[in-house]
Amino acid sequence: MTAELGNIINSGAMWACAIFLVLLVLAQAVLYIRLAYKEAKTIGYDTANLRKSFRLGMITGFGPALTGVVAMVSMMTLIGSPITWMRLSIIGAVPTEMGVASVTAQSLGITLGGESVDIKVISLIYLMMAIAGTGWLLVTVILTPRMGELRERIGKKDSRWLIVFTAATTIGLFANLAAQQLTTGGFGAVAAAISGFGVMFFLHNIVGKKSKGIKNYALTISMVVGIVLGILLG
């Protein structure tokens, strides 16, 4: 990415584009809190409990939110700070958003993070991130009011295959993306991918069985080790 492109995607205008969404997410939360307080008064539930619940929710959400910090800064270097701020305030976590960005780059026959990323590529990536997110949001808007009856209709047998099907698409996606990085990125990328895989496997499946807390930081640690080894060996 050129310095000029870096300036464009981190410009004040891009921050202005991004802040609307962050404010809307905040506004929605505030509106629902108000609705919940009104309902609590109607049913005669002590609103002091709601204040405690809000605080508990904040505390519960805080730790997991912190675990994404390293991934977030990496995402900022690849596609810009304002878009990262905006995208992470909604739906996907970093791996999902980077999955969308990488698949988009792959459809153009290029690798994200490389020299061939220009403003047209970035613009297409921003568009595809918006479209991918719209999928989740539209389904939520359309299905949520009808969810009760819908869940009854999905039988137990089908839902088992649905679990496998979802797992298979996720494995297919990351197998393809990891294979692409391994075969195009040179020795450093091979080192980064293998150490990322190895560290995650170790933390998630071996250490993670004894201490659950480590799982939350497994992605961060895998990425840091992968990047460091990539730089050292590349």
Partner 1 sequence: MSNNVDINNTLLSDPQNIKERWLRPVNRMGTITILLCILVTFLPSIYLNIRYDAFIGWDSVFPALLLVVVVFGVNWFVEPISFYPVLGNAGSYMGWLAGSVAQQRAPAAIVAREAMEVEQGSQEAEVVSVVAVAGSIVSNLIVLTVTCFVGTAIINVLPEAILSGIAAYVLPAMFGAMLAMFGAKEPLLTIPVFAVMIGLHYLSKFITLPIPTLMSTLLVLVSLAFSILYARALYKKGRINQVK
One residue of 2, 7, 57, 116 binding partner 1 per CB under 8 A: 57
One residue of 2, 158, 170, 209 binding partner 1 per CB under 8 A: 170
How far apart are CB 64 and partner 1 at their closest, in Å? 4
**Per-residue mark of binding to partner 1, 79-108 (x: CB under 8 A):** --xxxxxx-xxxxxxxxx-xxx-xxx-xxx
What is residue 61's DSSP assignment?
A: H
**Class of residue 117 by CB neighbours under 10 A (exposed 0-12, middle 13-18, buried 19+):** buried
SS3 content of the chain, % helix, strand, coil (to 5): 85, 0, 15
Other C-beta atoms lying within 10 Å of the C-beta of residue 72: 17
Kindly state whether residue 52 participates in binding partner 1, applying the rule CB under 8 A.
yes
One residue of 109, 149, 152, 211 binding partner 1 per CB under 8 A: 109
Q: How far apart are CA 60 and CA 33, in angstroms?
A: 17
How far apart are CB 121 and partner 1 at their closest, in Å? 7
**Per-residue mark of binding to partner 1, 186-205 (x: CB under 8 A):** --xxx-xxxxxxxxxx--xx
One residue of 116, 158, 169, 209 binding partner 1 per CB under 8 A: 169
One residue of 7, 158, 172, 209 binding partner 1 per CB under 8 A: 172
Other C-beta atoms lying within 10 Å of the C-beta of residue 232: 9
How far apart are CB 229 and partner 1 at their closest, in Å? 8
Q: How far apart are CA 201 and CA 207, in angstroms?
A: 9
Q: How far apart are CA 41 and CA 92, in angstroms?
A: 35
| Nearest to partner 1 of 95, 211 (CB atom) | 95
What is residue 119's DSSP assignment?
A: H
Kindly state whether residue 2 participates in binding partner 1, applying the rule CB under 8 A.
no
How far apart are CB 155 and partner 1 at their closest, in Å? 13
Kindly state whether residue 209 participates in binding partner 1, applying the rule CB under 8 A.
no
Kindly state whether residue 225 participates in binding partner 1, applying the rule CB under 8 A.
yes
One residue of 2, 7, 116, 184 binding partner 1 per CB under 8 A: 184
Place of tokens 């410009």: 11
Kindly state whether residue 182 participates in binding partner 1, applying the rule CB under 8 A.
yes
Instruction: For the segment 126-165, give every residue that binds partner 1 (CB under 8 A).
Output: 126-141, 143-145, 147, 150-151, 154, 160-165
Q: Are 183 and 190 contacting, i.e. CB atoms less than 8 angstroms apart?
A: no
119-143 and 94-107 are packed helices; what angle lies between their axes, rounded to 10 degrees? 130
Q: How big is the site for partner 1, counted in residues (CB under 8 A)?
A: 163
Q: How far apart are CA 160 and CA 165, in angstroms?
A: 9
Q: What residues contact residue 22 under an 8 Å CB cut-off, 6+ apart? A: 85, 86, 89
Kindly state whether residue 227 participates in binding partner 1, applying the rule CB under 8 A.
yes
